[in-house]
Amino acid sequence: MRQTTGMGDVRDERRKGIEPMGWSDFHRRRATMERALTAARHTEGNRIPFDRIAGAREDFGTEEGLLLALQHRWWQILTGHLRAEVAGPEDADTVPGDDSTECEDHVDAVSRAWRAAVRRHPALHAVVSANVERFPSLRRAHDAELRMLALVSGLAEPHEPDDEVVGVGATLVALFHERALAEASDPGSCPAAEPVAQWLRRLAPTG
């Protein structure tokens, strides 16, 4: 089974501050993360007031450790939705390429999975997204997420340059955001079965 490029590195990053633990430790750390998300809602730019979060230093050591744990939680949620819709990152080899008519179905499935994850965990997604550039480890984790979305959607291939694959993933996420905003402002503006070809044309080079 192929390992998606960069996935090993990002898993190593996520393991920082995520050590094996018992159930009591797990629930205590989860409660600390929830307190951090609640506090971040009241700060500018969804920043976590780390020193004011009870248990944050004891459970995660540093703000980076806490943010990596939150990013890891987001990753678990997103990949869970992806598996329910189409495939997980380990299945990217079986996803049809962008010259296949099945690719459109995969883009729709990835869109549904991503938007469902954001809709059900808005605070978590907001904090993770807002802090991507704070630490190199978070940037690498975010790039791995974009890479996974591009591969699972079938719009990129594992052998393509990493920066190009990440760019495709970033474009996909921008489109997902655009559709989510349109649906929020005017629920009738985005038909549930909007042709994916319209999305694919936006990804095509215009030059």
CB contact set of 158 (below 8 Å; sequence gap of 6+): 2, 4, 5, 92, 93, 151, 165
b/e code 131-141 from CB counts within 10 Å (16+ = b): bbeebebbebb
2 in a structural domain: no
Alpha-helix runs per DSSP H in the chain: 7-15, 23-40, 56-60, 63-85, 102-120, 122-130, 136-153, 162-185, 196-203
Per-residue pLDDT, 14: 46
55 in a structural domain: yes
Per-residue pLDDT, 13: 44
1 in a structural domain: no
CATH of the domain at 180: 1.10.357
pTM > 0.95: yes or no: no
R_g over Cα of the chain: 18
Number of independent structural domains in the chain? 1
148 in a structural domain: yes
- Comparing CA positions, the residue from 14, 13, 18 lying closest to residue 59 is 18
96 in a structural domain: yes
Domain of residue 11: give its range: 7-203
Q: What is the mean pLDDT of each run of 10 residues along the chain (207 residues)?
A: 40 50 88 97 94 96 97 96 76 50 75 94 97 96 96 93 96 87 66 51 52
